[in-house]
Structure 1
Amino acid sequence: MQTLTRTITNPLIKDEVTFLKTSAETRGAYTLVEVKLAPGGGVPLHYHNSYRETFACVAGELSIQCQKDVVRLQSGQSAVAEANTLHRFFNQSPEPCRFLCRIEPGNPGFEQLLQINYGLARDGKTNAKGMPKGLLNLAYVLSLGETRLPGLLSVLGAFFKILARRAVKKGIAAQLQQQYVRF
C-alpha cells in the first residue's frame, strides 16, 4: 500500500512544508504545518482577513516582519501575525531554519493554496517571485487562502474576486484542484 506524503516543496521560495494537522483533522480549530526554509527563502508581505498565524522557530533563525517591525526568532521563540496584519517570514541567516506555523482557525483554502501554488512552482508555471502565471490562476490561488497583497495589487482586490469567479466558471479552478490538491 502506498502512503500519501504530506510534504510539499517550492523550489522558488526554497522551502518544504509538511502538513502535521489539517483543518479537517482539528475540526476547524487550526491548521499546523512544519516548514524547512533555506537561507534567502521566504514570502512577500501579505495579510489574511480571517485567520492569524503563529510562527514558532524550532531550529536555526527565522525572521518575521509584522507591519514595519522585524524580529529574529531563535529556537523556542515565537511570534504572531494577527488577522489583517501585514506580515512575511524569511530566512536572512546563512543556515536553514525550521519552524512551525499554526493557522487559527484552520483554513482548508490555505492548505489548498499551498498545494496548488507549490505544484505550479514545481511545474514552472509561476514567475520568479513564485506568483502564478496567468491572472485567473493568480486570482483563484489568492482567493483560496484569503490572501491579500499590499500596494498596487491591493487596489485590484475587487477585480481579483471577479477573476477568481471566472476561474471557477471556466473550469480552471477544478483543473488546479484535480492536478495539485492531494489531501
Structure 2
Amino acid sequence: MSEQVYDPNRRQRYEFGREGENLVVEIRVAPGGDVPPHYHPAQEERWTVRQGRVRFKIDGRTVVPEPGAEVVVAPRVKHSFKNVGDGEAHIHVEVRPAGELQAFLEDAAALSRAGYYTRHGLVKSPKGALRMAEFVDRYRDTTVVTLPPPALQRLLFSPLLRLSRRR
C-alpha cells in the first residue's frame, strides 16, 4: 500500500494498492465524511465496509451494509456515500479496472488541501475556478460528478478551459 493521502474536504484518508489491472483503496472516513453523487464511465467498484456505519446511495436507493457485506456499483451508475456513524469508518474498495481513479483522488485531495474549493464543492476564487475546470476536464473519462449537472458544468467550465489554455 502507498502512503496515506488526505482530503480535508471529504474528511478521508486513502491508501492505494494494485491487484493486477485493478486498484485497491483503503479509505478511512471521519464522521460526516462523504463523497458527492457521481459515476464512473468505465469502472466497476466493489465496496466492503470493514468498520463503522456507512450509507450508500446507489441509483436512487439507500443501502447501509453491515460490516463485511459487499456493495457493487456498475459503470455509469450514480452513487455517493457518507459516514453516518459516530466513529471513523474503514472502507475497502476494489476498482475494476483501475483506470485513472488513483490520480483523480490524489489530485482532488491536493486541490482540497490547497483550499481551492469548499467542503460543498464551491470554488473560492477565480484561480480555484480555473483549477476546478482543468480538473473536471482532465478526468472526464474517469469520474463524472453529477451536481451541478454535467451539462451545466460544461457550460460553466468551457470558457474557463479556453482561458486556461491561452495562459
TM-score between the two structures when normalised by the length of structure 1:
0.75
2:38 aligns with: 46
Q: 8 Å contact 2:130–2:164 — kept in the other structure? A: no
1:113 aligns with: 104
1:153 aligns with: 149
Q: Which runs of 5+ in 1 are unaligned?
A: 172-183
Q: Which runs of 5+ in 2 are unaligned?
A: none
Tell me whether 138-147 or 40-49 shows the greater mean CA deviation: 138-147
TM-score between the two structures when normalised by the length of structure 2:
0.82
2:136 aligns with: 142
Per-residue deviation, 1:162: 4.4
Per-residue deviation, 1:159: 4.1
Q: 8 Å contact 2:36–2:80 — kept in the other structure? A: yes
Per-residue deviation, 1:33: 0.5
Residue correspondence of structure 1 range 1-183 to structure 2 within 5 A: 6-21=3-18, 26=20, 29-108=21-100, 110-130=101-121, 133=124, 134-143=128-137, 144=139, 146-150=142-146, 152-156=148-152, 158-159=154-155, 162=158, 166=162, 169=165
Deviations 1:2-58 (A, max 9, x none): xx952101112111001122xxx72xx211110001111111111111112111111
Tell me whether 46-55 or 122-131 shows the greater mean CA deviation: 122-131
**Greater relative contact order (Cα 8 A, min sep 6): structure 1 or 2?**
2
Cα pair distance change 1:80/1:170, threshold 3 Å: farther
| Percent identity for Structure 1 against Structure 2 | 22
Higher strand share: 2
- Number of aligned pairs? 162
